[in-house]
Amino acid sequence: MTIQPTLIEGLRAWADGFAADRAAVELLITHGAWLSRADFLTRCVDIVPTEELIDPDTPVAIIDWERVIRYLEGWEGGLPASSSEVAVLAVAASIGAGHPVDLRDALLGLDATNTAAVATALVTAAQVEDRVTVDLKPRQLPDWLTSDT
């Protein structure tokens, strides 16, 4: 899954200065799946035309959270995705637009990488990155399972 660098730059420019927007955008960038899907981009992301930009050298892309929420709730037919993809999008919409999400349901099927991405987004939204970090360490088996005895 490849995300266009100009899309990343544009989303970061749009979210700059607002912790919740930045957290939601970074979660989607880290996750990667949604921002590399043409169907999601054409339906839920608006690219600001160059002639409308204050600085034409800095692209701006805007996530339409209301449309994302309508897709999550099935009002616009939904977007086919795995349960973990939907969970990450739901958490991002919750952070970015204040849409309620059931964290128990959202976190239940996430792997360690996506759980760390969600945790990092929550730390970012809370504006405590200078005091809290989330690191994903390699999985280690318990000693009793690795001993040669």
pLDDT single digits (tens) 27-77:
999 999 999 999 999 999 999 988 887 888 889 999 999 999 999 998 777
Measured between alpha carbons, how far apart are the two ends of the chain, in Å? 43
Residue 21, SS3 per DSSP: helix
Q: Is a pLDDT exceeding 70 seen at residue 91? A: yes
Number of domains in the chain: 1
Domain that holds residue 23: 5-146
C-alpha atoms less than 13 angstroms from C-alpha of 147 in its C-beta half-sphere = 4
Across 21-35, 68-82, 88-102, least confident range: 68-82
Query: Which of residues 145 and 90 earns the better pLDDT score?
Result: 90
